[in-house]
Structure 1
């Protein structure tokens, strides 16, 4: 495995590409070969996600989806060819579901580049995909995707699909937000596109890596909040304005608490690799979500309208992060975590 993103490596890429840094450049540099979650270096993986997020939240949306797809492929027995750009599209809104049709007669070799198939285990079932997939980040730029859908028995399944084949249409529909506009999260239509099944029905949420990946989203949110906080810090150098300093203090409290929870969560996941990490992941996500909202609130009040109107990077981050945070299910997630808390001992809250 290639080295994960280091601060020095990412700084070099950032200086080389600036605002033009894209997923393809990260992949070409080998920056996508992160430690797998739960393999002993989860915090290193999350630091890489946070570093990309602090630079550009739309970019980390694509980067996280790509690296999550690689982790899913590793867990469920798939492969990714060198230089391929992946996405993970597993949102399941009721009005956009993809049907997986078994296709037993499809026997072309996975290694045949003309097949347009995703390069996964040739022994895996082959499928045809039908329907529209929503929230497909980076659809116009990726080469492959891990897609969720439903088989004829009504079971949830995963498949690896090549985007470079007939039967795949990237639309311009499904995204109107200003925030996270760079993620280009549009609808994709599948009309009989070939795909390869990953794992068994139900494996997407049943596998231990599901909640590991869910916790990794919190690292992206944290990186976005850290990037905003860094701008406040840089613009507050030498300031003696008590209100600005108070806002900076509030930002420090929010980020310090969130960072502590992320470090603790990463250690727990590495120590309990095969355990159910739902409570750990949900707690990390909710703590970081709250901290990020605090950072957004205090950053705007600390700096006023000037940077929001004249600093493109800061303004973009302030618009992007609230949209990205809505990947959380808010009170529904709080209720789920509360139910898990009832099942555990209150002593777990003790120092």
Structure 2
């Protein structure tokens, strides 16, 4: 069954654990794996993420994490994940919440400490987490969550937007895990920035759904001002789509190269489009979608929170740092 067909069959009310339940349904339907980035079908991967995002941002947050985890495991040569398992990738590193890794005599490791920003912690069965060994090196560890030594809290997530992802704090107390790849390998691999660009496909899918609501409104009513807003939304979306398509082509043509600048450009372009879409759709549609349409209200609350995975001016500064050393002719048509 196709992804679109399965999405169409899902109930539209997430309830308390909707995204986690939906993720399980996608995995059970054989849709838990996507084409790996940089293997010739990056755009197909991103189209799937955009489709899930258009359905629900809480779901795509978990789905992107799950499919990213499988891509990481494959890239770093790890063992295949257990059948039917669902995964998160928890790699935030605030200084007040870092996991400590301790080596075990049997070659495994244990994890201790607090991990923040753990999306879907109450729903997924496994996670890839970053931790620090005794030599001060960042390591990636695969850990089963349904075991002694792992406690999912209700702390650290007070958001109204993206509330359904429950990106709470998780406490580890000598929890057994398995090292994945070499120390530092998580951020040094080509897939790190390839996956970072894929986040923008999620933003794009949600913005596309908002644009479709405005297009439908203009189809039903001839309102010149609403149509002007639709023109602006169309411009923003086609520019963002072009940026994503160009990035996907580059990644597939250069699968082992550093994709940081390509990813940063795609993310910045899509973020700008999201801001344009939200601005124009809100002015054209008024209060109705925010107040009387449950799915649209959830999307309009979720998207501004989700897009804050961008670090705004800090990301643009980093992008500019790469641009200034590229030389002339960088923008030749």
Q: Which bracket does the TM-score occupy, shorter chain normalised?
A: over 0.9
The size of the alignment, in residue pairs, is: 325
In the alignment, which residue of structure 2 is the partner of 1:299?
A: 281
Contact 1:86 1:143 in 2 (8 A): yes
Between 237-246 and 168-177, the greater mean CA deviation after superposition:
237-246
In the alignment, which residue of structure 2 is the partner of 1:15?
A: 8
Contact 1:239 1:245 in 2 (8 A): no
In the alignment, which residue of structure 1 is the partner of 2:18?
A: none
In the alignment, which residue of structure 2 is the partner of 1:90?
A: 91
In the alignment, which residue of structure 1 is the partner of 2:66?
A: 66
CA displacement at 1:18 relative to structure 2? 2.4
In the alignment, which residue of structure 1 is the partner of 2:221?
A: 239
Contact 2:7 2:52 in 1 (8 A): no
CA displacement at 1:10 relative to structure 2? 2.6
**1:116-175 deviations in Å (ceiling 9; x for gaps):** xxxxxxxxx411000000000010111100000111111111000000110000000010
The counterpart of 1:267, out of the listed 232, 249, 254, is 249
Contact 1:150 1:157 in 2 (8 A): yes
CA displacement at 1:29 relative to structure 2? 0.9
Separation (CA, whole Å) in 1 of partners of 2:5 and 2:192: 32
Separation (CA, whole Å) in 2 of partners of 1:248 and 1:18: 29
Aligned: 1:40 with 2:50: no
Aligned: 1:313 with 2:295: yes
Contact 1:282 1:333 in 2 (8 A): yes
CA displacement at 1:99 relative to structure 2? 0.6
The counterpart of 2:172, out of the listed 170, 175, 190, is 190
Separation (CA, whole Å) in 2 of partners of 1:186 and 1:206: 27
In the alignment, which residue of structure 1 is the partner of 2:268?
A: 286
Separation (CA, whole Å) in 1 of partners of 2:281 and 2:96: 37
With structure 1 as the length reference, what TM-score do the two structures score?
0.91
Separation (CA, whole Å) in 1 of partners of 2:269 and 2:187: 22
- Structure 1 segments, 4+ long, off by >6 Å, are none
Instruction: Provide the secondary structure at the position in 2 that maps to 1:237.
Output: helix
CA displacement at 1:15 relative to structure 2? 2.8
Structure 1's unaligned 5+ residue stretches are 1-7, 107-124
CA displacement at 1:343 relative to structure 2? 1.1
Question: 1:225-236, aligned counterparts within 5 Å?
Answer: 225-236=207-218
CA displacement at 1:11 relative to structure 2? 2.9
Separation (CA, whole Å) in 2 of partners of 1:49 and 1:345: 34
Instruction: Provide the secondary structure at the position in 2 that maps to 1:191.
Output: strand
CA displacement at 1:14 relative to structure 2? 2.4
The counterpart of 1:216, out of the listed 198, 204, 207, is 198
**1:298-334 deviations in Å (ceiling 9; x for gaps):** 1111100012110011111110000001110100000
Contact 1:171 1:189 in 2 (8 A): yes
Question: 1:60-209, aligned counterparts within 5 Å?
Answer: 60-78=60-78, 79-104=80-105, 106=106, 125-209=107-191
Structure 2's unaligned 5+ residue stretches are 15-20
Instruction: Provide the secondary structure at the position in 2 that maps to 1:196.
Output: strand
CA displacement at 1:345 relative to structure 2? 2.0
CA displacement at 1:224 relative to structure 2? 0.9
In the alignment, which residue of structure 2 is the partner of 1:119?
A: none
Aligned: 1:324 with 2:306: yes
**1:209-255 deviations in Å (ceiling 9; x for gaps):** 00000000000000111111111111221422111001100000000
**1:267-302 deviations in Å (ceiling 9; x for gaps):** 000000000000000100010001011101111111
